[in-house]
Structure 1
């Protein structure tokens, strides 16, 4: 492809996104233009190829896990089980340095393991934790910052929808990706809790009486986590089959809690369907663009160019990290992933970087984007819950942003933190 054509297509792409055009429409149009202008395809032939790729991408069995995990998260969110989760965790952390601020971290870690969604995790835990913690006099910045940082666990701790999308696009085992994300997620949670403990020394602990019986409220949610993840890691079920079990388990849990209603079921199905359609459209259009880029030789040419620069793996990762943090200022996580992977993956493979490890690295980069304005989705969710300004929430998030960045450095220096579990199990 001529360099002039590539520059024009890049300008069209950036301009379309800046004008607010839907990401999947932009990707599809750019893919067609790429084939027509850069590959000497006729418009008719380009359309036929795009249709064939779309059909093939939409038939992916792995993608069918997404609507099921979304449905499970939506049902648990609407059943308002976050209160039970908060009440069950409170007696455990009440006397820790930092007190109940740890509930934000532990609650998000637990709920992330059944939702697969950062937005659902932040909203579900935040709806109960923010009013409770602020009402008990906890530091406002720590309350908001810890929720923004911990809410992003929905993308890292399995079952992660972002990892399913990455696995499909990068052709990597989703089960191994799930295993790779578990230990880093727990390590990051401990890093957050350590910071809260240090900042929270001397915090006046609330004197409300302990309700140890509330610990029993944790059992159903923990059982659901164990069933979903245990069936995957035990080799009993694929991610899609485990998602089906998760939906059934969520239904049983909500029925036991006597919160099931036709309205809850209807609204959960509608919300999950809408999100599935959006994600499906983006993934399919990204597959078309990936195919188009491959036909005109862009990924291989870019990979050869980067390899020719003789960059070390560390320097390459720094460049990729800066690139993703920049994209995170303007795009949501899934869009970042599907836009960039067709071009980035050939470079990653050519440089000898493990694609399983890179999947966790990429998810962490996306999580950093969730905490940065102007398009930090977690910030907007917390704003709707707390009434704080985006600026205030962004400032409160800075320490947790830096902690996550430190975790990325840690996982880069010691990659076995990420790779040990998938190598051990599989």
Structure 2
């Protein structure tokens, strides 16, 4: 048995801070003890120091903060190289930049190179788990999983399904989409720490036959994830209405094909009504809020108050490349502002929960990630409150946990990530990356 210990300020959660004032558990002088890739114990140093074995490696990080690894619930790895591309809206952005870029992933070398860079960029931002969209090419999913497996990450990903309303060079068929997805599920789902997500891009790019094939795959594999987009943009909502006139709403299209359930994650969820939100709450389907993308593409403002009122599960996501940063700290920054525009105050403590334990709970992975609880997988981030002169000056004046976390959320980015650990192994070091 190999043991290592990390002495630092610690933050973890026992529940939603919006529901319980004691849900955030903070130790000013804490320790995480890791054995064979899992958390053996975490808590106050004074209570646990005798559990640190004589031969253990002990890192003294008392001037830093350890939090569970961030979880990004909606991101497109093939769009890494087209991040920050100008366009007047979602649909022209897809036509002008997204589809031409994704065409290149027919080349396995392109897919592999991009996947390696993408994974490293996630880790540099403190993200240890993500729900990732690949391209329509089967090899794009293989490349992403291979890059993730090399770092022993808990990753969820899937090959995109599109059999209409897209360029011919990105189009699959009902049968090839089904066969490729089934093959990838068999190869990667629950292979080590890799997990598969059935990935119809969005309702307009799948025929009814393809959505029926998705329904069949989802029923055959009850523990896989499902990911897609819904109600991101008003033009898109109108388009879906014209394509599926028998369905009550955009969300109802997915519901009709039994694609709302636990482990089903839908990006954006801006233009939903209360019936949609209640249906997501009833089924356990998750809304992935993508604030930097929604602002960048002018899609709209996510309604936190209505989500909370209907108890719709919500997580945070970057949505790179519509999103403008890999950093979940920057995502928190924009999420706070979006909430304020809707008259809702989103605390930093709750944003950290949404990006860690809240996401893990929503994804049905609370026993594995998003926590520092004993027997969980030892994925965590070391944050540096002195990463920049401004952050150092502000955090030195923080009089509460909320002020400290708010400074990280509003002033932090990848520079604040000192180290990232996956299954107890260091997979990113800011100091080494700078050399």
Q: What TM-score does the superposition give when structure 2 sets the normalisation length?
A: 0.26
Larger RCO (CA within 8 A; separation ≥ 6): 1
- Between structure 1 and structure 2, the one with the greater Rg is 1
Greater fraction helix: 1
Greater fraction strand: 2
